[in-house]
Structure 1
Amino acid sequence: MRVGVFLFHESRDPAADDRVIDEAMHEAILAEEEGMDAVFLVEHHFDGNCAYVDPSTFASALAVKTSRIKIGFAVLQTSLYHPLRMAEQIALIDHLSKGRLIVGLGRGSLVNLHEYSGYQIDPDSAQERFEEIEEILLRCWTQEKVTHAGKYWNFEIPMLRPRPYTKPYPQILRSVASEASLAAQARQGRPVLMAAATAPGAARNIAVYREAARDAGFSPDKIDEAIAQSWVARTVVLAPTDKEAIEVGLPYFRQMQTYRAAQSSAFEAQVAKANKQPGLPVLCGSPETMMEDFTSLEKTGIGGVIVRFRTGPMPADFSTRALKLFMREIAPRIRGRELATAMP
């Protein structure tokens, strides 16, 4: 199983933006130094939940600051973009990174409606826009003259430049947030980005995927291949001891919950539901404590796990120490034979 870091660096104070953006860059560079397979970027606007805001711009900087690690989006909020600008940006970053992109696409935030209103996008149109944009991306990357007449965009261009570095184009993964969307992607045999707080949750998702793909006529080998190219996102609070993780690290996670809940009633409802469940609201503890969850996750056949170490106002030294602990204590137990196979 491949391992990646999820850079989700919060900055509540505009005066701290410069520092937090630098810390996100340093964590990405550390991930490469520690031997991680990928760094994934998130996208949020107008609220400080993601200090670097624009994952495409930040990915361009990462492309020239790193040399080996894959650079992924988890995800680009596709409905907020003009498709031609998105196609150009991704193709350029594909060149700057020499083919290291993993293009995760999603319709847009399900909880932050202020992002849609800021970009003057009707959230009810987001899924349709998403579908039309993906169609445009693929055509622009594989055809020369492109004429498009759709519901939201109409244009004619002689050729999109630059052409993608990766042929025919970088790997595209869709984000799935429900069993219905997961099954829909499985019926097309497409690998996905999913979220699962626990290994049993990921196992349930993968069971849904396998059943839907099997019903659509895909062979067991093709299903295994798609799952091996998929990633699951996971948040952890990791420290050398359970005591430190719970007493020092967990409050940062709870502060993140409170901060985001104050901005979004939908997120507030998610937090209230999660906090009603027995036990801790996030995987929390020492490497020994969370080892079983990660080794169980590896047994599901999922291709990679994206780990978010930093939440809320957590200091950089706490999250970077967690990344090092993970790579030295947990990663060697879950990185199997597929590690030698480069992700397409």
Structure 2
Amino acid sequence: MPVSVVRFNLVEPDATPASLGARYRAALEMAAYADEHGITTVQTEEHHGVANNWLPSPFAFAGAVFGATSRVAVTVSAVIGPLHDPLRLAEEIAVLDLLSGGRLVTVAGIGYRPEEYAIFDVDWKRRGKLQDEVLETLLKAWTGEPFEYRGRTVRVTPRPQTEPHPLLLVGGSSKAAARRAARLGLPFFPSAHLPQLEAYYKERLVEYGTEGWTMMPGAETPLLHIAEDPDRTWAEYGRHFLHEARTYASWQSGDIRSAVKSAATTVDELRAEGVYRILTPEQCVQLGLDNLVLHPLAGGMPVDEGWRSLRLFAERVLPALAD
């Protein structure tokens, strides 16, 4: 049975507070429905100051999801580590770990948008050193014991439930990220299918004498939408996928490697590219992928259409995969 993921970034261009609030509440209802129907994971993410209202507070959203569910994991992929106070981040994750019974998965990246660092007056050029400090502080803080932090002794409480600590992965597409993960003995989450980088990470584990593992996207990791009539759905709703794809493309320089990187400038190009796919339930079953990532509210997708996709996935795709 493949891992099944429902992704939410809560994008809505030209939203009003009322419409965005309705979208947030719909996402929580979808998460509860996903939980009831055996979907494995809710995935969310962090971006700041985006005109289309991209979710900036993934842990607040994760807490709401945990309150509405009992089994599903929530993966924050990714938190932009250097933008957070390390001690406060340790507390936030510990509390969510306790609330959820260990269902939170955090992928820590350093981001790729200097303008986000500028919003918080964080030095872009120091992002590597800041990320080291964040990760090292989290691991020390979660022991519940006093430790030295910026020249003083501190202690963070409460301790999380998960032993030895909540699941924390280092995300990225660079050798520096792979080295950082290996040095700290943390799992590595490449941002795309990068087998050579995975091999480099494993070599560094041996060098540092640490242990770890890789959670890497497959060679194919499309973002899925399920519909009875893909042609009609592309015609009516393809602009929402294109909006998200173009937003991502505007952020990503040539050296950024991402599983969702797109060069499309039209809906037809996007459809041909295959990063976003609208499939019938039967076509989705036939994909044969180990991970199925449903994106029901992509790019400001109308909530009703998002629900149609989610219900088709839960009621016709997952039962067929279980047979």
Separation in structure 2 between the aligned mates of residue 174 and residue 217 of structure 1, nearest angstrom: 14
Matched, 1:98 2:101: yes
From 50, 56, 66, the equivalent of 1:53 is 56
How far 1:186 moved relative to its partner? 7.9
**TM (normalized to structure 2)?**
0.80
Separation in structure 2 between the aligned mates of residue 257 and residue 21 of structure 1, nearest angstrom: 21
Separation in structure 2 between the aligned mates of residue 190 and residue 231 of structure 1, nearest angstrom: 17
The aligned runs of 1:29-48 (5 Å cut-off) are 29-48=32-51
Is the alpha carbon distance of 1:183 and 1:169 closer, same or farther for their aligned partners in structure 2, counting shifts above 3 Å? closer
How far 1:49 moved relative to its partner? 4.2
Letter in 1 for 2:278: G
Which whole-Å deviations, capped at 9, do the CAs of 1:52-100 have from their partners, x for residues lacking one? 4211122222222211111221111111000000001110111111111
The range that moved more, 283-292 or 244-253, is 283-292
Matched, 1:191 2:187: yes
The range that moved more, 315-324 or 181-190, is 181-190
Which whole-Å deviations, capped at 9, do the CAs of 1:269-292 have from their partners, x for residues lacking one? 899961287923533232344545
How far 1:238 moved relative to its partner? 2.9
**TM (normalized to structure 1)?**
0.76
Secondary structure of 2:142 counterpart: helix
Is the alpha carbon distance of 1:128 and 1:30 closer, same or farther for their aligned partners in structure 2, counting shifts above 3 Å? same
Is the alpha carbon distance of 1:46 and 1:173 closer, same or farther for their aligned partners in structure 2, counting shifts above 3 Å? same
Which whole-Å deviations, capped at 9, do the CAs of 1:157-208 have from their partners, x for residues lacking one? 1x21111111221111122235x36754786675343445xxxxx4xx2x32
Is the alpha carbon distance of 1:155 and 1:335 closer, same or farther for their aligned partners in structure 2, counting shifts above 3 Å? farther
User: Which structure 1 segments of 5+ residues have no match?
Assistant: 197-201, 299-303, 337-344
Is the alpha carbon distance of 1:48 and 1:70 closer, same or farther for their aligned partners in structure 2, counting shifts above 3 Å? farther
**Mapped contact 1:6–1:41 kept (Cα < 8 A):** yes
Secondary structure of 1:5 counterpart: strand
Separation in structure 2 between the aligned mates of residue 305 and residue 209 of structure 1, nearest angstrom: 23
Letter in 2 for 1:309: P
Letter in 1 for 2:117: Y
The aligned runs of 1:19-34 (5 Å cut-off) are 19-34=22-37
**Mapped contact 2:102–2:161 kept (Cα < 8 A):** yes
Letter in 1 for 2:303: A
Letter in 1 for 2:167: Q
The range that moved more, 98-107 or 325-334, is 325-334
Separation in structure 2 between the aligned mates of residue 192 and residue 330 of structure 1, nearest angstrom: 30
**Mapped contact 2:73–2:105 kept (Cα < 8 A):** yes
Matched, 1:314 2:310: no
How far 1:213 moved relative to its partner? 5.2
Matched, 1:236 2:227: no
What corresponds to 2:16 in structure 1? 14
The aligned runs of 1:143-154 (5 Å cut-off) are 143-149=144-150, 154=151
Separation in structure 2 between the aligned mates of residue 244 and residue 192 of structure 1, nearest angstrom: 40
Q: Percent identity?
A: 25
Separation in structure 2 between the aligned mates of residue 181 and residue 237 of structure 1, nearest angstrom: 34
The aligned runs of 1:203-222 (5 Å cut-off) are 205=194, 207-208=195-196, 211-212=199-200, 215=203
What corresponds to 2:153 in structure 1? 156
